[in-house]
Structure 1
Amino acid sequence: MTATTTSTSTTTRLSSATVRGYALGSVGTGGFATLPGLVLAYYLTDTLGVAAAAATVVVFIPKVLDVVLNPLIGSWSDASAHRTGGRRRFLLVGAALLPIFFALTFAVPDGLGTAAGAVWVAVAFIASAMAFSFFQVPYIALPAELTDDYHERSRLMAWRVAVLGIAILLFGAGGPELRELGGGGRWGYLVMGVVAGIVLGLGMFAASRVAPSRPTRTAATGGGVSFAASLRVVRSSAPFRVLLTAFALQALATGTMLAGAQYVATYVLGDERSVSILFVALVGPAVAVMPLWSRSVRAWGKRRAYLLASTLFFAATVALLGLMTGGGWWVFAVVALAGVGYAGMQMLPMSMLPDVISDHERSESGTARAGVFSGVWTAVETVGLALGPALVLAILAVTGFVSSTGDEHAVQSATAVNGIILAFSAAPAILTALSVVALLRYRLAAEDAHAQNRSH
């Protein structure tokens, strides 16, 4: 039996095909997590003319459905894996439907008014989020089923996050460029939505091919598919609750920074297209430093490495408060430092999640379900990322930001500009500091075992 189909082994190294195939799924997950967070709020306020407060509702409320839907999809995928031998059908459904609904999100017709356009975006984005959930939930469950090895999971996630970094660069920097190549305005967003949607679907389809095609250990016990059952799983694992809390706060922190980047580029740095440079600065280091984070796991363990990554990101966001006194080349250097921490904040918790699932399975005599864990995880992550743009829009509304239509940007007051800077720096800094406090409480047998091995 090859490593692609071997469920768990502490001695078998995952095949290169499995690692590559799984990593390609990050083209879909990274793209969908990045591009809407970067441009959707801006599309609503500066192209459709939706007021910031109303745009907050459009961006955030559709994602609230994921709180209920994702745990249910996790349970359904567990039950399906038990019956059919795999989760592939869920992955394929998401890969097929997401490109369609994603393109529709940015396809508001020219003749549609502001209110109707906001409704159009909300409905299409709900459908996009649902399609994405059908892929994302079983995708996150796969590592716990591919290997039990502490370091192989780090290797798997290192490759995944390296591709994630490339995907974020591709969508974060390339998305706005596609918008401009399409002529800007509504037509530019439509071109961006269609092209980006196709690329998302291709990456997701590639990842579906590595899904195990035999009954999984974590699905073998069956069980209910109710939301209440999912919550019981969360409550039963203290390490999961701690890790989830830290990751959720950081999802909100990064979501806030992503959503604020376009506003900083336009109204603070004075160049709308400099958002692409900001994204290269933030995500570019991820690919380069990923081997260093992998080595740090072997030297220090995942928890200590995760604390270091979080601290680096926190320090960089605090330094960005210097925008209050003016911009310059230093902004991109500080954002690059944040990118080094960001890389670890992506890789390390995702490699810790399978450890938590396996630990729970051992303690509960095989009753854990990977799908339920990943469903709750992705639900919280989705809400955190959605709250980022919503938090930015709320800060803008409070500080007097004036929305625009067409290609002309309204002149902003000094208070509104300061609000943009606070949304981009202070808000992520506070959220990251809270995540570090949560992470200090993380304890797991796998971490203790790794520490003992280092001491011998």
Structure 2
Amino acid sequence: MSKISTKVPLKTTLAYGIPGVGAGYMYLLMTLYVMKFSTDVLLIAPAVMGVIFSISRIWDAVSDPIAGYLSDRTTFKFGRRKTWMLLSFIPISLGFLAVFSPPESLQDASLEIWMMFAILGFYSAITLFNVPHMALGAELTDDYHERTRLFGVRHIGFTFGSILSLVSMSLLISEETDPNGDIRNLAGNLAFLAVAIMSLMIFFSVSRLKENPEFQNRVNKNPFKAFRDVWVNPHAKILILVLFIENLGGAVIGVLTLYVTQYIIGTPALAPLMILAYMLPSALSVPFWIPLSRRFGKINLWVFSMVFTGISFGATFFLPFIDSVTARVVIMFVGAFLAGIAAGCGGAIGPSIKGDVIDYDEYLTGERKEGSYFAALNFVYKSATGIMLLVTGFVLQFSGFIPNQPQTMEVKIALISLYGLVPLLFYSLGAYLLYKKFTFGEKEHAAIKQHIKDNN
């Protein structure tokens, strides 16, 4: 077995988690606000934006595996992961700025084409950072529970960045409602500040982290074989199916939160606070989930968190039928808080289990291809997201949705069905499959680690 540290030093853990702040900020702003920014500010049709987001996910089917395989195959002395993380800051900056600063001279088809390439560019660029970064996390330790702590810190950083994006989103929403506001100028300025800070975080992280040189050049030269190995791995196969189903349920939550708060609850100004009610417990609960995973097992806790998430969002289905605004607000806040607690579990334990499955691949093949695995798993997430964003765009378009106007009950039911019932269905199904079919726990992981050690 490769000689890697079981206990990760605190300074390494923090250096690994810090770029998650910038990534979390960008991801949440892209997830929660770009659809609304495009339909309500740029006045692009929801169906068009649904198609654009779906195309971006289809492109990820190409870019994610390429990024993962190239990262695995890189042999630079600086590091196979850190090299790509460092290079990513330039296209990330250009893509994020392009999304939030489209030229005001562009209209109609030209604006739609600009947004399509801007969104494609950003997601391609963030892949160059995210896949190597996640892969590096799986390499920093081979300990079954230490990985949970490492990815838990990354999740806290990612969530903290998401919370910061809520401040920006609050400013943007206030600017939208101000008759004298200049929403496009504010969006551009915030984007410029974000890319500057993200770049500094990447520089700091790559200057502090050290990679294990023994892991370099331990992957088959044939990229198709590398990804075939992912599918041949029986535990990865189950995990891929579970993640696909789970993300079919979770994809619509982010993009529809602003629509639900404005058009169903009737309190758009509270949207950032409602999202904060989800984000805070998501980050603060991580230190509690880590010791619980040691006691009850990572798989059992992840199953519980998925069921809990589905129920929390499923309860929001009744919102359009409640007359009291106060009651609707309370239900939304409580649901967000409970779902946030569950998210803290999934954010820490999910990537940790992915790392365990990669160790099983080393047991089968003798190779270390974390990049290929996280690329494949990210592709599953993005594919599910693309499917649901396409569905969401067309549901909004054909249910009669009209931007910035009171919506009919038919539109409200369509919105809340996507927001409440879809997560309830898919999170429950994913939890069932994980509980029944995924059998690679702590005992099994310890056995393959010992086998690898005995044969090296």
Instruction: Tell whether the 8 Å contact from 2:76 to 2:83 is kept in structure 1 after alignment.
Output: no
C-alpha deviations, 1:194-218, integer Å up to 9, x for none?
Answer: 233333333333333344345242x
Shift of 1:90: 0.3
CA distance in 2, matches of 1:340, 1:397: 33
| Match of residue 221, structure 1, among 218, 221, 227 | 218
Kindly indicate whether residue 409 of structure 2 is the aligned counterpart of residue 411 of structure 1. no
- 1:16-55 matches, cutoff 5 A: 16-55=10-49
Gaps in structure 2 of 5+ consecutive residues: 323-327, 448-456
Is residue 302 of structure 2 the alignment partner of residue 290 of structure 1?
A: no
Structure 1 residues 148 and 45: alpha-carbon distance in aligned structure 2, compared to 1, 3 A threshold? same
**The one of 231, 235, 254 aligned to 2:227:** 231
Question: Which residues of 2 match residues 217-366 of structure 1 at below 5 A?
Answer: 217=215, 219-224=216-221, 226=223, 228-326=224-322, 327-364=328-365, 366=366
Going from structure 1 to structure 2, the CA distance change for 1:236 and 1:213 (only over 3 Å counts) comes to same
- What is the CA-CA distance between 1:180 and the residue it aligns to? 3.9
Deviates more, 1:304-313 or 1:431-440: 431-440
Bigger shift: residues 307-316 or 247-256 = 247-256
Once residues 284 and 189 of structure 2 are traced to their aligned partners in structure 1, the CA distance between those partners, rounded to angstroms, is 31
User: Is structure 2 residue 427 aligned with structure 1 residue 426?
Assistant: no
Counterpart residue type for residue 144 of structure 1? A
1:420: Cα distance to partner? 1.6
Aligned-partner residue type, residue 159 of structure 2:
G
Shift of 1:291: 1.4
SS at match of 1:425: helix
Q: What is aligned with 1:3?
A: none
User: Following the alignment from structure 1 to structure 2, what is the Cα–Cα distance between the partners of residues 132 and 104?
Assistant: 14
How far apart are residue 173 of structure 1 and its match?
4.3
Alpha-carbon distance change, 55 to 246 in structure 1, aligned in 2, over 3 angstroms: same
| TM superposition shift of 1:15 | 0.9
2:99 to 84, 90, 105: 105
After TM superposition, list the pairs within 5 Å mapping 1:86-101 onto structure 2. 86-101=80-95
Superposed displacement of residue 163, structure 1: 1.5
How do 1:441-456 residues align onto structure 2 when only pairs under 5 Å count? 441-444=437-440, 446-448=442-444
Distance 2:148 2:66 in 1: 28
Change (3 A) 1:42 1:7: farther
Provide the rounded CA distance (Å) in 1 between the counterparts of 2:79 and 2:183: 47
Q: Deviations over 1:119-175 (max 9, x none)?
A: 111111111111111111111111222111111111111211112221121113433
Q: Which residue of 2 aligns with 1:382?
A: 382
Separation (CA, whole Å) in 1 of partners of 2:79 and 2:194: 32
Over the residues paired in the alignment, what is the CA RMSD in angstroms? 2.3
User: Does residue 187 in structure 1 map to residue 185 in structure 2?
Assistant: yes
- Structure 1: give runs of 5+ residues left out of the alignment: 1-5, 452-456
Q: Deviations over 1:377-406 (max 9, x none)?
A: 22222333444433322321232212x4xx
The answer to whether the 8 Å contact 1:56/1:390 transfers is: yes
Check whether the contact 1:27–1:163 (CA below 8 A) recurs between aligned residues: yes
Give the letter aligned to residue 436 of structure 1. Answer: A
Pick closer, same or farther for the CA change 1:56–1:31 going to 2, 3 Å: same
Question: 2:383, 2:343 → 1: CA distance?
Answer: 19
In the other structure, the counterpart of 2:391 is 391
Paired residue for 2:197? Answer: 199
Aligned partners of 1:195, 1:83: CA distance in 2, in Å? Answer: 32
Quick check: 2:314–2:421 contact (8 Å CA) kept in 1?
A: yes
Distance 1:252 1:32, change over 3 A: farther
Looking at structure 1, the residues matched to 75 and 332 of structure 2 have their Cα atoms a distance apart, in angstroms, of 48
Name the counterpart of 2:325.
none
Tell me if 1:126 matches 2:120.
Answer: yes
Per the normalisation by structure 2, the TM-score is: 0.89
Secondary structure at 2:405's aligned position in 1? coil
Distance in 2, matches of 1:433 and 1:174, equals: 33
| 1:138 paired to 2:132 | yes
Contact 1:264 1:421 in 2 (8 A): yes
Aligned AA (2:407): Q
**Contact 1:87–1:211 (CA under 8 A) maintained in structure 2:** no
| Distance (whole Å) between structure 2 residues aligned to residue 421 and residue 90 of structure 1 | 40
**Matches of 2:87 and 2:169 in 1, distance apart?**
24
User: 1:344 corresponds to which letter in structure 2?
Assistant: C
- The alpha-carbon distance between structure 1 residues 184 and 381, as it changes in their structure 2 partners (threshold 3 A), is farther
Q: TM-score, normalised by structure 1?
A: 0.89
The 3-state SS of whatever aligns with 1:147 is coil
Q: CA deviation at 1:336?
A: 0.6
- In structure 2, the residue matched to 1:209 is 207
Contact 2:56 2:120 in 1 (8 A): yes
Structure 1 residues 7-52: Cα deviation after superposition (integer angstroms, max 9, x where no partner)? 5244xx2111110011112123322332111011112211122222
| Distance verdict in 2 for CA 1:378–1:339, change over 3 Å | same
